């Protein structure tokens, strides 16, 4: 599996528009025209590689091209619902789940899913939400994702998610590190004094 990038979700994190187009952002490791599609690791792989504990879930991406003739949102959702191609990954979505509709307004992508999605709960639901949010938030205009089922708000899950909500322990460093200026070391200060170079 090339360019692996995994996200581990702890138990605390786990419990926690027709005609419209969106454009992708650049994604490290993807070939031109490919997108990140996120899925949970299978239980066997998690045990073999010691990823997380019994009360955690690990997500990993694979890179896929959109189905021919489909726009980005519909295409990415179809890739999610069709399941992973890479071994060691599994689908978190119930069979028969599909996208009923979507809209994008001021950076918020609202996805309306079929009734089968409403049957998910607990860890399974959070993993599924995480796969959707991480996959769709790579699109340039998408800042946050809101999910409904059959046009209705979800009990206990009526909230807006961002990419950061599902990133806790990530080896890929999807979020760039903050650039901070480190104070000069004592050795550097001594060298500057000896050379006669005034400190700025």
CA distances from 25 to 21, 34, 122, 137, 139 (A): 13, 11, 31, 9, 6
Q: Where are the domains of the chain?
A: 6-195
Residue 75 structure tokens: 């295409």
- For 133-188, the pLDDT digits (tens) are 999 999 999 999 999 999 999 988 878 999 988 875 443 334 333 343 444 555 55
Phi, psi of 191 (to 5 degrees): -60, -40
Question: How many Å apart are CA 73 and CA 51, to the nearest integer?
Answer: 30
Maximum average pLDDT range among 11-20, 101-110, 174-183: 101-110
CB atoms within 10 A of CB 107: 10
CA distances from 165 to 7, 8, 102, 139 (A): 11, 12, 21, 16
Question: How many Å apart are CA 115 and CA 141, to the nearest integer?
Answer: 27
- For 31-82, the pLDDT digits (tens) are 888 999 999 988 654 445 444 443 346 889 999 999 998 999 999 999 999 9
| Number of helices followed by number of strands (H, E) in the chain | 5, 8
pTM: 0.69
Q: What's the confidence (pLDDT) of residue 151?
A: 95
* Sign for the pseudo-dihedral over CA of 133, 4, 180, 24: negative
- Helix H or strand E encompassing 138: none
């Amino acid at each position: 599996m090339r360019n692996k990038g995994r996200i581990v979700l702890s138990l605390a994190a786990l419990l926690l528009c027709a005609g419209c187009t969106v454009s992708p952002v650049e994604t490290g490791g993807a070939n031109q025209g490919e997108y990140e599609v996120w899925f949970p690791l299978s239980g066997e792989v998690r045990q073999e590689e010691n990823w997380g504990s019994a009360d955690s879930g690990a997500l990993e991406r694979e890179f896929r091209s959109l189905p021919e003739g489909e726009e980005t949102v519909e295409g990415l959702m179809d890739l999610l619902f069709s399941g992973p191609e890479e071994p060691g990954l599994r689908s978190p979505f119930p069979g028969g789940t599909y996208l009923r509709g979507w809209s994008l307004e001021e950076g918020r992508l609202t996805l309306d899913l079929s009734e089968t999605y409403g049957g998910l709960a607990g860890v399974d639901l959070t993993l599924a939400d995480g796969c959707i949010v991480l996959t769709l938030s790579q699109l340039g205009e998408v800042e946050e994702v809101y999910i409904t089922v059959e046009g209705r708000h979800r009990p206990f899950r009526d909230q807006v998610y961002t990419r950061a909500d599902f990133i806790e322990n990530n080896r890929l460093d999807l979020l760039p590190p903050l650039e901070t200026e480190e104070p000069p070391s004592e050795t550097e200060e001594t060298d500057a004094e000896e050379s006669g170079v005034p400190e700025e």
